[in-house]
Structure 1
């Protein structure tokens, strides 16, 4: 795993969890403005997810690290992101699998799982590195909105 210092998210919570993971996936951006990225190509994505909350669950976890890996890695690893039609669409630029949209989608997926836990922590940030020189940081809007 790449060693990285991630941007810090100021928050009022007692606990902060960060999970690093990676997945290999292909994608294309269905727009002429994407240039060569409009053709199918692949990346090894590096992800850091920041989760925070005040309460731990019955197992003493804010969130289980293996669950986070399952929600992201197991879903997207060795896949064509464009094939995940529930998340990405070729006819809606707000749902093209750009790095920005993939980061937002990861945040939404994580939060949807966290919302079903007893301690209900918050996904505060997703850092997504697509290449050694390009990354996106996504943070949900203040007030808990995800879009």
Structure 2
């Protein structure tokens, strides 16, 4: 069962949409300090994406749930995260740690949302890597007009 309790993301928007996903992926952290995580290993990640906005599209959505799944699950499920172009082994800000995975998912989703006429915002991404460890990424929101 997907973990369904997440820290709340406060925002000034009228609508909030949450999409839960589960994906299996492997990764490694290319630094000696990472200990065991330096070796290739896998996780079943539980991910929650929060999108918010004041306006809906012509179908009555902030975004179709299926589009979020395509952007994240379809791209990363059953892959080695280090092999994706959004991560690399040279820049610590691009290592596929849980923190960077959460930020990267948020940025990927926001890039798609920016192409929509009603301009919803990705206000948070929760990534649970193990039953006892998770990251919550919240981008800094620009105050509305």
Say what the alpha-carbon RMSD is for the aligned residues: 1.0
Match of 1:25 in 2: 25
- Segments of 5+ residues of structure 1 without an aligned counterpart are none
Structure 1 segment 1-147 matched on structure 2, within 5 A: 1-85=1-85, 87-143=86-142
Deviation at 1:19, TM superposition (A): 0.4
Distance in 1 between the 2:82 and 2:17 partners? 29
Q: Report the CA distance between 1:78 and its aligned residue.
A: 0.5
Distance 1:9 1:78 in 2: 29
TM-score w.r.t. the length of structure 1 is: 0.94
Which aligned segments of 4 or more residues in structure 1 are displaced greater than 6 angstroms?
none
| Structure 1 residue 6: Cα displacement | 1.0
Structure 2 unaligned spans of 5+ = none
Counterparts of 1:80 and 1:5, CA distance in 2: 27
CA separation in 1, counterparts of 2:140 and 2:32? 30
Partner deviation per Cα, 1:5-31 (whole Å, 9 max, x = no partner): 211111111100000001110000000
The separation in 2 between residues aligned to 1:10 and 1:41, in whole angstroms, is 34
Distance 2:20 2:99 in 1: 18
> Offset at 1:2?
2.1
- Distance in 2, matches of 1:3 and 1:73, equals 16
Q: How many residues align?
A: 143
